[in-house]
Amino acid sequence: MKQELQTPAYQNLYTAYDSFIKVRSLKGRMYQRNVNVFLIWLERYGITDIKQVTTKIMLVYYQHLIERPNLTRGGTLADNTIKGHLLSIAMFVENLLTTGIMVKAFDIPRHGNQDQKPRDYLTIEEIKLVYQHTENPLEKAILSVGYGCGLRRSEMENLNVSDVQLSSGILIVRSGKGDKRRQVPMSDTVLADVKHYVTEYRYQRLADRQHQKAFFINKKGNRMSGETVGKELKKILIRTNSPTILDKEITLHSLRHSIANHLMENSAGIDFIKDFLGHSFINTSYIYAIKNKKRFKPI
């Protein structure tokens, strides 16, 4: 049975969007159909003003699309179908912004291939165990920067000592993915570990190479490559002698997935997680939680 929009404001928005699509000479009714489904879904959840839609609500709808049954062929919706829904909503929002109905848009996820193998990550208890098996300030600093600050491998390699501001408790990523600059707050524990490494361990390793800018340095006082930092992490993991940890494929990037999941579990805001990790698109952060089978509660 075909459902109809009940909210007059939504009916008007849909009519305007229908005209917007027709002016673009786009064939078929997919774009209109998808937006109609989205608006009906909003009505069902008691949201009758488009300005009430937030990024979190959009993510709940995204989750709904991922889990929604395919009544024709069985299973869930195909990736291309989900992408079509999101594209339709993006065009709908574009029209709302153009006409001035909305001044600021909510984030719309980008959908990837959900059949990809999820990257392994560590639980909070496993992270604690790994920390317990560090043997020097360098190893603690690697965990604190990779997990506690969520840096990518390349960002850890390129990090300079001047980027770690001990006085303000801020770590600066000057050129992240897409050349994006971001500031990462350090917790008290992370700050303590980093400070210990910088003021004592790193200083001793430098010897007569005090001009070295790199944050992570090897025994010769040179910048440590991302590959070498990863090997240092492997040493700690092996030292735990934990079957559950050793059965996983844990890399430096896994530490980012770990902190993303743990922030989610502690109800951190989606936008905070996105900015913290330096993601351009919201679904990159949210998909960690989806693959971990974490679910938002109904609105």
Beta-bridge mates of residue 171: 164, 184
8: number of Cβ within 10 Å = 9
Average pLDDT score, the chain: 86
Catalytically active residues are 152, 177, 253, 256, 279, 288
Rounded mean pLDDT, 187-208: 90
Contact predicate 152/251, CB 8 Å:
no
| pLDDT for the residue numbered 71 | 79
Predicted confidence (pLDDT) at residue 27 exceeds the cutoff of 80: no
**pLDDT tens-digit profile of 248-260?**
999 999 999 899 8
pLDDT confidence band for 113 (50 / 70 / 90): low
Q: Is pLDDT above 80 for 114?
A: no
What is the predicted pLDDT for the residue at 242?
A: 95
Higher pLDDT: 19 or 119? It is 19
Query: Does the pLDDT at position 103 exceed 60?
Result: yes
Query: pLDDT category, 178, cuts 50, 70, 90?
Result: low
Return the pLDDT at 297: 40
Question: Which residues fall within 8 angstroms of residue 240, CB to CB, at 6 or more apart?
Answer: 129, 130, 132, 133, 246
pLDDT computed for residue 174 by the predictor = 87
Alpha helices in 68-162 (DSSP H): 79-98, 124-132, 137-143, 153-158
pLDDT tens for 36-93 read 999 999 999 899 999 999 888 888 898 899 888 887 777 888 888 999 999 999 999 9
Angle of helix 30-44 relative to helix 79-98, nearest 10 degrees? 80
Q: Higher pLDDT residue, 225 or 295?
A: 225
Pairing of the two strands 164-165 and 182-185: unpaired
Segment 263-292 shows an average pLDDT of 68
Judged against a pLDDT cut of 50, whether residue 1 lies above it is answered with no
The yes-or-no verdict on residue 199 having pLDDT over 70 is yes
Question: Considering only 42-46, 50-54, 177-181, 294-298, which range has the smallest mean pLDDT?
Answer: 294-298
State mean pLDDT over 182-196.
95
Q: What percent of the chain has pLDDT over 70?
A: 87
Task: Give per-residue pLDDT as tens, 129-155.
Answer: 999 999 999 999 999 999 999 999 999
